[in-house]
Structure 1
């Protein structure tokens, strides 16, 4: 049944009693980094951004041209990202774990003219570099280490020497250019700022076109939700990769907007993160459940004072209640589950910081966002309590997929005077407007005519005292179409003591018979994306290949 005025959920309550605030005119953006786990403190770097923008302009790179970034979290990433935006270019960050094939796909798909890359990734970059790239600017971690550390790094780490001449140049030389003399006219509603590629969990990557308005709107939505007060006071844990939209928006862009200090990690280590939280009195932590699990399970967690943390957000995958409760007990911080997509810049939902947080829920829409549950096959909004596809509308929703008109036809629809984005996630909304993700539409297991949701099984498996990580997929069955199979990684103290049949027996006590995994495979670790999200897709591909059905 549908209504003339459908049951949509707006963020009609302000969870932190705050209002939208822009940065004061003339205030200084907060580019302050504690770099590489204790490197130099780099102050305001507007001049570097302007010089990089000037360099790009001198090379004929401007409005609408794409600049690729193959960089870990680093000062160079921030300088290149914001400098390219000042020049009017489109920035396309890349996952630094990409293979040459994946590098070539993204750079060829978006026709990037310039690539900024880290020297330690030289071999993969050169193997995947398409001929369409006109210039590669090489940089190294040593470029922003203080003098003695830079010298020691060169002596003992011996960074690789990137090619010289032709299209290959030094990033530091580009920063010696004259500052940009005039800024391009930007239409924030239409002009694309970033091409962020999706597909790490679902298949072939597609470039989501995020406009300047999309990125700014989501930063302001997050700020209104947090109501953090005075600018320049917060210290952000920068463990999430900035090449992923979650880290780019929630850490880098939000940190800059708040004039915060960002503790930057090129490659995070849990003990190092805990030490730095205590050392720098970190206040804000954006992470994924894997990070929070690693902290609470670390043998040295009690040795560090983590109680400076105030607000922590978990995204990318479901946050188990037991993990959240233990983390909050250790830190005293508020840990809330949220939700977002690359296509939505990314945040659309978060559990209230000051209001009621409901475990198992992704919360309610952030300000200026409208959300509903729709029929997966038609533009019809469903009633509260019904399971359907989560759809959203708001200023953070992407312009569309780059050069994918057929995909855009599938994910957008018009209803009730709004342009809706289909998320691909099955969900339900309760009477109070809180949303609950049931599962990915593509991950639902069809067993004997039943719809089995992997997330529900995983939540049960996480209750087992020995399960550290869990993922469930459907595997082919000649009679039942598909049956659930679980993959688990055990805590260290349980290795060799727990068998697959023990896990199955535990699940049998908490699930209906048709939901119980028919197989359990114990692994050392489960495959993850660059942001730490467990990849069911990879497990499914491996299983099909093993069964000769790939």
Structure 2
């Protein structure tokens, strides 16, 4: 049963309203790329390339190794790594063994990692040979079901001379010691055979991934996603993208077989970077630049700018704080960034002023989308053309996806067009549920017309032109004297102040009005500003009840490892 075409006159030309034939194992993407483009580069790390054939060979060996260690279909295997070239081979190797990937933030503390390993019952773990990450692993696996630990060194995939010199000079990071029984990645790959076990995968029923979400709003929960969830989302993104490759040239989709290069600036443990960079590059036979630490360099993000100039990426999925880092970088004009064609923004609302500045300085086009870890992650996207996108909106549902706006209190009644309510998503990318949490799963699903809709926790509406507009997070809404204030709306205005680099807005208790608005502002490097300047600016640009009653300047505003402003942290501090 298909959805009716989304009601808009601005649906992008050539994009289908439905996606078919996504019922296949996720690892088939790598097998197909290695068959069609065996000698084409997949990953680039520190100047060293790895072809699709090489990555497939390693993935097959990882699968063989895991099977020999007793890992069977449905078992969970964790990846505790930054964006290293090991990552795709390990990821696909786990899937080829029939197991389920558990992707973990490499910056987690031992307690945070232990929670995920315990919750999923992971039996094996891949970690980095590093003086910080490896000791974290040692502590985190205590009391868990983890029986096998594989330690990955960056030396494995460095150019030979750089690896030799790095080892000679002691510049390659490694742990001081390794626990008995822990295995080295190179030894595992060398001893295993490129012969994955024969595993029968049900793409729509069998899990591919458990990814943890909710850290910015509550206790983390494992979103359980199937192979088909991701394959559908990748096919929908491929169908959605339309680019103009030459001035005055025809509009085309993503060219395959090495034409494109993705900048892997987002972490691959997170669904945004995983799907829109690591997996998308594989699906299109494109190159992928590994960026383990996007903040590297002096000033921060300088190394990313160098990578753009050297390797000429054409596509970059990123969160708004990355675009801010680019546009505010003091050395930006010294680098050639003209290779960038299309940039997909998500993970957090994109302030219109940030979009304008980035495009003005790079020539690329940003199209904003929307999704969650629970939706693999893309649920909606703006058209990839300047004349069809609507800045400030999140565009239209992806092909084969539907959106409903439901009452924010119960999630059981549909709102009238144009009215705010909770955004609910139905489509092939929506997760099966939260891992081992049936009650929490039941709370976030509603059934309409025999279909299951996921309650996102975000407030929004559909405007007169059919564009979906996110007003704010349901839990972040501020109630000022009976008026609803949505932090994003205030933040978007603050972003237009010429001295502001980042802004965050939260509600704080007030005896008179219930709550008042407090703004946290991070200034651009070298700028100074007073509270009175900000108050005068707000007076000119927003209604009285929306204006921040308290203003605090911060050297840095806390963000998550994927660039989301942590309003919860600021709200707790303010209260």
Pick the TM interval, shorter chain: over 0.9
Q: Are the equivalent residues in 2 in contact too, given 1:21–1:224 (CA < 8 A)? A: no
Q: Are the equivalent residues in 2 in contact too, given 1:11–1:366 (CA < 8 A)? A: no
- 1:122-161 CA-partner distances (Å, limit 9, x unpaired): 1222222233211111112122112221122222325333
Deviation of residue 413 (structure 1)?
0.6
TM-score scaled by structure 1?
0.93
1:511 aligns with 542
Residues 393, 363 of structure 1: CA spacing in aligned structure 2 closer, same or farther, 3 A cutoff? same
1:189 aligns with 204
Deviation of residue 481 (structure 1)?
2.2
Partner residue of 2:173 out of 159, 162, 172: 159
- The separation in 2 between residues aligned to 1:204 and 1:66, in whole angstroms, is 21
Q: Are the equivalent residues in 2 in contact too, given 1:138–1:162 (CA < 8 A)? A: no
2:136 aligns with 124
1:53 aligns with 63
Residues 43, 86 of structure 1: CA spacing in aligned structure 2 closer, same or farther, 3 A cutoff? closer
Spell out the pairing of 1:334-413 with structure 2 (5 A cutoff): 334-354=365-385, 356-376=388-408, 377-413=410-446
Q: Are the equivalent residues in 1 in contact too, given 2:327–2:358 (CA < 8 A)? A: yes
Higher normalized contact order (CA 8 Å, seq sep 6+, divided by chain length) = 1
Residues 165, 275 of structure 1: CA spacing in aligned structure 2 closer, same or farther, 3 A cutoff? closer
Residues 412, 10 of structure 1: CA spacing in aligned structure 2 closer, same or farther, 3 A cutoff? farther
Aligned Cα root-mean-square deviation (Å):
2.1
In the alignment, is residue 233 of structure 1 matched against residue 259 of structure 2?
A: yes
Q: Are the equivalent residues in 2 in contact too, given 1:487–1:523 (CA < 8 A)? A: yes
Unaligned runs of 5+ in 1: 1-5, 545-550
Q: Are the equivalent residues in 2 in contact too, given 1:10–1:365 (CA < 8 A)? A: no
Task: Between 205-214 and 352-361, report the one with greater CA deviation.
Answer: 352-361
- 1:66-123 CA-partner distances (Å, limit 9, x unpaired): 1101100011111110000000000011111111110111111101000100021112
In the alignment, is residue 251 of structure 1 matched against residue 286 of structure 2?
A: no
1:547 aligns with none
1:172 aligns with 186
Deviation of residue 164 (structure 1)?
4.2
Spell out the pairing of 1:34-433 with structure 2 (5 A cutoff): 34-36=44-46, 38-42=47-51, 44=53, 45-120=55-130, 121-131=133-143, 132-154=145-167, 155-157=169-171, 159-161=173-175, 163-164=177-178, 166-176=180-190, 177-226=192-241, 227-268=253-294, 269=296, 270-354=301-385, 356-376=388-408, 377-433=410-466
- The separation in 2 between residues aligned to 1:141 and 1:481, in whole angstroms, is 53
* Partner SS state of residue 492, structure 1: coil
- 1:261-286 CA-partner distances (Å, limit 9, x unpaired): 01111101422222222222211011
1:3 aligns with none
TM-score scaled by structure 2?
0.89
Unaligned runs of 5+ in 2: 22-28, 242-252
Residues 332, 521 of structure 1: CA spacing in aligned structure 2 closer, same or farther, 3 A cutoff? same
In the alignment, is residue 475 of structure 1 matched against residue 508 of structure 2?
A: yes
Q: Are the equivalent residues in 2 in contact too, given 1:16–1:225 (CA < 8 A)? A: no
